[in-house]
Amino acid sequence: MLFKQQALLRQKLFVLGSLAIGSLLYLATRVGSLDRPQPICPIEGRSGSHIPEQIPLRTLQFKRGLLHELRKGNATTEQIQLHNLVQQLPQAIIIGVRKGGTRALLEMLNLHPAVVKASQEVHFFDNDPSYAKGIEWYRGKMPFSHPHQITIEKSPAYFITEEVPERIFKMNSSIKLLLIVREPTTRAVSDYTQVLEGKERKNKTYYKFEKLAIDPNTCEVNTKYKAVRTSIYTKHLEKWLKYFPVEQFHIVDGDRLITDPLPELQLVEQFLNLPPRISQYNLYFNATRGFYCLRFNIVFNKCLAGSKGRIHPDVDPSVVTKLRKFFHPFNQKFYQIIGRTFNWP
C-alpha cells in the first residue's frame, strides 16, 4: 500500500514538473518574440537617395550587440565583414536648431530599427579644420551600420553657420534635412540657461537675460545677442533655400515633441520613407523627470541626460512680451515658407 502511494506521488510530481517546464518554455519563447523585430515592407525611395529597401530581422540585435562593441572598439574585422557592416555617410542630418530638442529627436528616431545615429556631434561642416580633413574623415566618424539602415547625425550649429548649406550640398544634393524648432522666445531663454549653467559651474558671474536680450541704449530687442539671432528662423532658412528645395526639409515641432512626441515622430518616419515602427509602447512619461523616456524593448529603457529639461530663470514679463512681438513677423514668414503653423504667441 505504501509503495503504491509513493509511486502515485512520484507520478503527480512528474506531471507538475512537466507543466512547470512547459510554462517556462512558453514564456521564454513569448519574451523572445516580443523582443524580436518583425519583418517590414520594402521602402520606396526616390531615385538618387539612399533609402533602405528591407530591414533584416536581426537589425535590433546588431544595434544592441555588435554595433555596441564596434563603438567600444572591441569588434574584429572578421565580425564586421561577416555581418556586412559599413560606415555610411548620413542620408539625413538634423541641422538644428540649438536648444530646439535636437538630442531628444535623434534619440527618439534611434528607436526605429532602420535608423543608426552618430552618438556625438561631429561638427564637420561648420568647423574649418575638421572640414579640411575631407569627406572620408567625416565618414570615419559615422557609426557602423547594415547597408539597409539610414545613418543620421546632428550638429545644431549647422543651421546658423553660413558655409554649411553649400558644403552639405556638395556632399549630397538630395540629402534629407531635419530642423526642430521651439517657440522662439522660449528657445532663447533655454539657450541663455545653458550658458548660465556653464558659467555657474566655473564660479563665474553672468548677466541677466533681460540685460542681454534688450539693448540698454535703444530699449529695443538686441539682435546682436546670439540667442536672439538664432531664434529668427526664417533668416537662416532662407540661406539654406539657395541650395535645397523646401521639400527636402522637414520641420519638427520641438514643443510638441516634449508633450506628445509620437505624432511628430510618425511625421518624420513618413518624411524619411520609413515604415511605421515607433509606437506608444516605445515612449513612456517619467513623472520624476517631467518628460518622456524611451523603451527599446522589455529589458532596455533610456532617459535623456539630467542636463535636459533645465529649469529656466524667471524673466521680466515685459521683456517676454517685447520679444514675442519682435519675433511675430519673422514667425509668420517662416510659416509661409514651410507650409506649417505653430501655436506660438
Active site residues: 99
> Is 64 within 8 Å of 300 (Cβ atoms)?
yes
Max CA distance (Å), the chain: 107
> Is 151 within 8 Å of 294 (Cβ atoms)?
no
Give me 202's grid cell.
Answer: 566655473
Distance of CA 173 to the CA centre of its chain: 22
User: Would you call 230 helix, strand, or coil by DSSP?
Assistant: helix
Q: Rounded distance, CA 294 to CA 309, Å?
A: 15
Unique residue bearing C-alpha cell 519638427: 252
Binding site: which residues?
99-103, 182, 190, 292, 308-312
> Is 326 within 8 Å of 318 (Cβ atoms)?
no
Binding site for 3'-phosphoadenylyl sulfate: which residues?
99-103, 182, 190, 292, 308-312
Unique residue bearing C-alpha cell 512681438: 325
Contacts of residue 321, defined as CB under 8 A and 6 or more positions apart, other chains included, come to none
